[in-house]
Amino acid sequence: MRGDPKVIEYLNSALRHELAAVNQYWLHYRILDNWGYKDFAKVWREESIEEMRHADTIVARILFLDGAPNMQSLEKLRIGKSVKEIIDCDLAAEMSARALYLDAAKYCDSVNDRVTRMLFEHLTSDEEKHIDFLEAQLTLIDQLGEPLYAQKHVGELHE
């Protein structure tokens, strides 16, 4: 099925965001794991995998609309150097993706592409859940201080 060119542009923009998120969350997972924050790292690993699923869904939709998925370019990665910076970086990426998905959903509605609109609405919902989680973590850091907050996420010690 031939898709609206601007819808395909929006989908490729979304793909850039999701592919960057896969890499950013994965690198943050590895950093957190390396620092010893084992429980925290598990959450970031799962986020990376969820973002990969989003990217896969977007690629499938682009192909269905006879578009060409652009897997060559990514949004810039934001990499933190502390637990708080990691959360700040991921929150910024999620906010950027959410703004794109809201615009994309409106455009898809205007050209009567309900399926792609619903895809963007679903992605928006997922991003809002991520945003809520990350904002809650920042609130906890503010209330507890970063050292105490981070200590909670070390997990069990293993060799």
Q: Which residues are annotated as a binding site for Fe cation?
A: 18, 50-51, 54, 94, 127, 130
Provide the annotated binding site for heme b. 52
Binding residues: 18, 50-52, 54, 94, 127, 130
- Cα–Cα dist 88/80, whole Å: 8
Q: Which residues contact 94 (CB under 8 A, 6 or more apart)?
A: 21, 127, 130, 131, 134
Query: What sections of 36-113 are H helices per DSSP?
Result: 38-64, 83-110
Q: Which two tokens stand for residue 8?
A: 């395909």
Ramachandran area for residue 41 (φ above 0: left; ψ -120 to 50: alpha; else beta): alpha
Q: What whole-number distance in Å separates Cα of residue 135 and Cα of residue 113?
A: 32
